[in-house]
């Protein structure tokens, strides 16, 4: 036992660390879509191991120490092996609409990454099964390990690139294997395997195979193909892998929305990639503003046609492009907010000379903060709030980001921005233009809702929208746009051959003059969204353009099922760009979770003898199925909700996941006392727990937006502690129904226990993905309320179970 407890802790830490690390690595190698898949497949590992242990319990119990040690060693080995193998699966998400093989590759990825979690879960499951008397201590070390693993990997990612962090992580289960290998009867062969693995690690062979194989179609890969291009620097943090690329022969010239009429050529730039995509540029600047003439001819310059020497707030400063834009136009002051400190350091320090010491300009103040947090805490009044392009055109297209939660472009966000916009000042947001429009129109719809929410009766009087061939810039004025403003907008657009899509008093003839489209989509769309039949228009529009909110922050989600058959049929005649494939990847992930869980968890269980009444069996099965859904629905909704508060998906996953694990574990430990008390009082403990969950969840539904708003500007450690404190009571209550059910099963049908674990695990595997799908379709509140209904049904079913055989 002395060795088992630390070994359990190490394996548990390794498992959660690996889960977070995979999310990070796959965000770099591919895109964001895999985050939910990884949670699902980690749960699949735990579910399948439960089934495996149930089937081979006598054999495993007899060789407990060896089985644990071998599992831990295999966990360590497959962490590396599957990391390397997974990257060799030629999955290309962009090709998914053309090539059905991609679905097979996606399934292969799912299965490859499942393997390490299976072995990790075998260790934990074996400890629980074979050392039942010490279950509470084992459980404690398991949960402690999970919490420490999350902290460890976040810490490692601050100093190491992901593949090196992996090499640190794999030592955890290896040490666990060594610890448990000593008392094992199979000591000699085991030690040989351990020593060989250790020698292999030290010799550095695996490291050569571990380099991240970034998709050829991500911006960084493309940039590195260019003549003479080279990586100048790479830095890693949990917030992203930042790579700076330069090509002296073909320098980057990133100037989205540059007018055809311009005579200015952008100066050479350094390309900066976050997670191998989302290019931002650091522009060469030697203090000569003449060299930045092109900045006067981009759509993002529109607000400067309305303002003189404004006080500017740049949200998402990136490589400093919007700061230069402000200085070029004579801004009085510029507050530049950037989430990632590494990015700030690049512009302000590492490449400060190249960037013309732009961050040292006395007018510029740089704030390394999250945008919503900064705005929520700010009491300043800005003449201009500028949100530029934070993503690449490719990443904005056809579903690459459709699953990304973005709290920058929601109704609540726009209201926050307008709160700190001075009277007469403007909010300006530039987006890539897709045709037919999707995000540009969704942004207009979101701004209209935001204005209506603060009592503006005619939002159309405060909005203007222009477009180039690939960007659109929307300005929202704090107050009505004057005749002079309109004249300035028209002149700005005309002289640069930009098309106006909306300004107060616009006529059809004003739109679609320079870059002519088949239909003046943006003008017609904005007119419709400002009209009385806006709801009907949104309903009839073939892409999802209803405003994004903090409850459904999927700004990049445009998919509509009704449109799919039409656009899929058009893909060969040039309509492939109309397919929002990101959502299809999520559906494919859900289907494979359903299938994999069935094959790896439930089907093997059919070999376990079934000697319980059919009716009781179906009730018990339903009970554990419902609990699996309800728990994960709430957990997943909280992960997504807390992204707003904790600023980054990885922080949110780490804090919420480990918070739920630890406190649900404590709740589980306390559940037996609750059961005793309830038995004495003749009440149902599950009903009581479900009641507690419902009460807390409902309070949070109303309370969290206010808590977030009030405390979002605090430092990360404070917010993490607050998050854990908020999660604790809810997770504590949610930890109870499962062990309470298990206790009842042990009393009435002990043979059902493996099924209880299996069915519950199966539901968890599915709901990790399903919860995201439901959140995208109906919002977080719906997912949480649905979970509460499910808990209520589960409590009723628990009441229907026979008390004792």
Tokens standing for 296? 């006067």
Which residues lie near other proteins (CB under 8 A)? 92, 94-95, 97-98, 215-218, 221-222, 225-227, 249-250, 253-258, 260-265, 393-394, 397-398, 400, 434-437, 469-470, 497, 514-518, 521, 537, 540-543, 562, 566-567, 570, 572-579
Minimum Å gap between C-beta 334 and other proteins is 23
What are residue 147's phi and psi, to 5 degrees?
Answer: -60, -45
Minimum Å gap between C-beta 448 and other proteins is 18
The smaller minimum CB distance to other proteins, of residues 119 and 521, is found at: 521
Block residue for tokens 């649905």: 786
Minimum Å gap between C-beta 498 and other proteins is 11
The smaller minimum CB distance to other proteins, of residues 38 and 224, is found at: 224
Residues 6+ apart with CB under 8 A from 399: 556, 558, 559, 579, 580, 581, 582, 583, 584, 585
Minimum Å gap between C-beta 500 and other proteins is 15
CA atoms within 13 A on the CB side of 503: 23
The smaller minimum CB distance to other proteins, of residues 59 and 100, is found at: 100
The smaller minimum CB distance to other proteins, of residues 278 and 659, is found at: 278
Rounded to whole angstroms, the Cα distance separating 188 from 154 reads: 36
Minimum Å gap between C-beta 671 and other proteins is 51
The smaller minimum CB distance to other proteins, of residues 575 and 621, is found at: 575
Rounded to whole angstroms, the Cα distance separating 350 from 353 reads: 8
Minimum Å gap between C-beta 513 and other proteins is 10
Minimum Å gap between C-beta 108 and other proteins is 18
The smaller minimum CB distance to other proteins, of residues 100 and 457, is found at: 100
Block residue for tokens 């728990």: 631
DSSP symbols for 130-143: HTGGGHHHHHHHHH
Minimum Å gap between C-beta 23 and other proteins is 23
Minimum Å gap between C-beta 228 and other proteins is 9
The smaller minimum CB distance to other proteins, of residues 8 and 471, is found at: 471
The smaller minimum CB distance to other proteins, of residues 21 and 258, is found at: 258
Rounded to whole angstroms, the Cα distance separating 683 from 506 reads: 68
Rounded to whole angstroms, the Cα distance separating 494 from 511 reads: 11
Strand pairing class (421-432; 471-477): antiparallel
Minimum Å gap between C-beta 273 and other proteins is 13
The smaller minimum CB distance to other proteins, of residues 352 and 517, is found at: 517
Strand pairing class (364-367; 333-337): parallel
Tokens standing for 11? 């394996």
Minimum Å gap between C-beta 440 and other proteins is 12
CA distances from 314 to 112, 221, 365 (A): 43, 29, 10
DSSP symbols for 311-342: EEEEES-TTSHHHHHHHHTT-SEEEEE-S-HH
Rounded to whole angstroms, the Cα distance separating 387 from 384 reads: 10
Tell me if 319 sits within 8 A of 312, measured CB to CB: no
The smaller minimum CB distance to other proteins, of residues 435 and 796, is found at: 435
Minimum Å gap between C-beta 342 and other proteins is 23
Nearest to 52 by CA among 126, 110, 103, 155: 126
Dihedral of alpha carbons 151, 155, 161, 165, sign = negative
Mapped to the 3 state alphabet, what secondary structure does 253-299 carry?
CCCCCECCCCCCCCCCEEEEEECCEEEEEEECCCCCHHHHHHHHHEH
The smaller minimum CB distance to other proteins, of residues 197 and 521, is found at: 521
Rounded to whole angstroms, the Cα distance separating 87 from 62 reads: 38
Nearest to 786 by CA among 775, 797, 795: 775
Minimum Å gap between C-beta 516 and other proteins is 5
The smaller minimum CB distance to other proteins, of residues 187 and 253, is found at: 253
Rounded to whole angstroms, the Cα distance separating 86 from 79 reads: 10
The smaller minimum CB distance to other proteins, of residues 97 and 646, is found at: 97
Tell me if 335 sits within 8 A of 365, measured CB to CB: yes
């Amino acid at each position: 036992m002395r060795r088992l407890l630390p070994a359990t802790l190490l394996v548990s830490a390794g498992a959660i660390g690996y889960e977070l690390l995979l999310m990070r690595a796959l965000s770099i190698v591919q895109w964001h879509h895999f985050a939910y898949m990884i949670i699902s497949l980690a749960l699949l590992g735990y579910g399948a191991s439960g089934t495996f242990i149930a089937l081979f319990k006598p054999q495993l119990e007899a060789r407990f120490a060896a089985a644990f040690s071998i599992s831990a060693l295999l966990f360590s080995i497959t962490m590396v092996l599957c990391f390397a193998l997974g990257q060799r699966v030629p999955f290309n998400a962009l090709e998914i609409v053309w090539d059905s093989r991609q679905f097979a590759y996606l399934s292969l990825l799912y299965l490859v990454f499942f393997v390490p979690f299976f072995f990790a879960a075998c260790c934990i499951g074996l400890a629980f099964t074979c050392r039942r008397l010490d279950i509470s201590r084992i459980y404690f070390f398991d949960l402690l390990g999970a919490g420490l693993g999350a902290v460890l990997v976040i810490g490692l990612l601050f100093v190491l690139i992901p593949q090196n962090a992996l090499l640190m992580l794999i030592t955890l289960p290896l040490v666990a294997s060594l610890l448990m290998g000593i008392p094992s009867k199979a000591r000699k062969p085991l030690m040989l395997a351990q020593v060989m693995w250790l020698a292999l690690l030290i010799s550095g062979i695996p490291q050569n195979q571990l380099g991240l194989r970034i998709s050829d179609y991500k911006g960084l890969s493309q940039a590195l193909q260019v003549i003479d291009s080279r990586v100048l620097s790479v830095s890693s943090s949990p917030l992203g892998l930042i790579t700076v690329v330069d090509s002296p022969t073909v320098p980057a010239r990133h100037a989205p929305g540059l007018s055809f009429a311009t005579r200015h050529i952008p100066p050479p730039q350094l390309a900066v990639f976050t997670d191998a995509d989302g290019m931002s540029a650091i522009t060469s600047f030697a203090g000569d503003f003449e060299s930045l003439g092109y900045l006067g001819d981009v759509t993002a310059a529109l607000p400067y046609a309305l303002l003189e020497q404004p006080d500017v707030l740049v949200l998402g400063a990136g490589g400093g492009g919007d700061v230069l834009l402000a200085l070029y136009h004579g801004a009085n002051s510029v507050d530049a907010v950037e989430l990632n400190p590494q990015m700030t350091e690049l512009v302000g320090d590492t490449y400060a000379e190249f960037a013309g010491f732009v961050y040292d300009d006395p007018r510029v103040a740089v704030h390394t903060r999250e945008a919503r947090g900064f705005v929520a805490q700010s009491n300043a009044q800005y003449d201009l709030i500028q949100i530029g392009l934070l993503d690449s055109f490719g990443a904005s297209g056809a579903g690459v980001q459709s699953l990304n939660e973005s709290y920058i472009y929601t109704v609540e966000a726009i209201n926050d921005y307008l709160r700190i916009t001075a009277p007469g000042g403007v909010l300006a947001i530039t987006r890539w233009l897709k045709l037919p429009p999707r995000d540009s129109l969704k942004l207009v719809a979101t701004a209209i809702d935001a204005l209506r929410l603060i009592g503006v009766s005619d939002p159309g009087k405060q909005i203007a929208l222009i477009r180039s061939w690939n960007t659109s810039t929307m300005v929202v004025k704090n107050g009505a746009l004057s005749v002079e403003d309109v004249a300035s907008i028209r002149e700005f657009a005309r002289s640069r051959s930009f098309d106006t899509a909306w300004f107060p008093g616009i006529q059809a003839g004003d739109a679609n003059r320079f870059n002519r489209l088949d239909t003046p989509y943006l003008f017609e769309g904005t007119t419709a969204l400002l009209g009385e039949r806006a709801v009907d228009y949104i309903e009839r529009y073939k892409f999802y353009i209803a405003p994004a909110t903090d409850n459904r922050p999927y700004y990049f989600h445009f998919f509509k099922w009704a449109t799919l058959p039409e656009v899929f049929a058009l893909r060969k005649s040039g309509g492939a760009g109309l397919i929002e494939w990101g959502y299809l990847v999520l559906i494919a992930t859900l289907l494979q979770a359903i299938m994999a869980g069935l094959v790896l968890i439930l089907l093997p269980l059919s070999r376990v003898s079934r000697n319980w009444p059919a009716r009781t069996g179906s009730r018990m099965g339903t009970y554990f199925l419902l609990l699996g859904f309800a728990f994960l629905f709430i957990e997943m909704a909280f992960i997504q909700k807390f992204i707003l508060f904790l600023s980054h998906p990885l922080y949110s996953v780490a804090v919420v996941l480990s918070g739920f694990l630890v406190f649900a574990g404590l709740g589980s430990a306390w559940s037996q006392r609750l059961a005793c008390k309830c038995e004495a009082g003749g009440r149902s403990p599950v009903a009581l727990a479900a009641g507690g969950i419902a009460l807390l969840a409902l309070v949070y539904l109303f309370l969290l937006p206010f808590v977030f708003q009030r405390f979002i500007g605090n430092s990360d450690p404070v917010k993490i502690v607050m998050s854990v404190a908020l999660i604790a009571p809810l997770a504590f209550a949610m930890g109870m129904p499962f062990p309470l059910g298990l206790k009842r099963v042990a009393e009435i049908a002990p043979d059902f226990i493996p099924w209880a674990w299996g069915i519950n695990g199966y539901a968890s595997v599915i709901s990790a993905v399903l919860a995201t799908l439901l959140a995208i379709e109906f919002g977080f509140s719906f997912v949480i309320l649905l979970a509460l209904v499910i808990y209520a049904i589960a409590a009723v079913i628990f009441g229907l179970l026979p008390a004792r055989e």
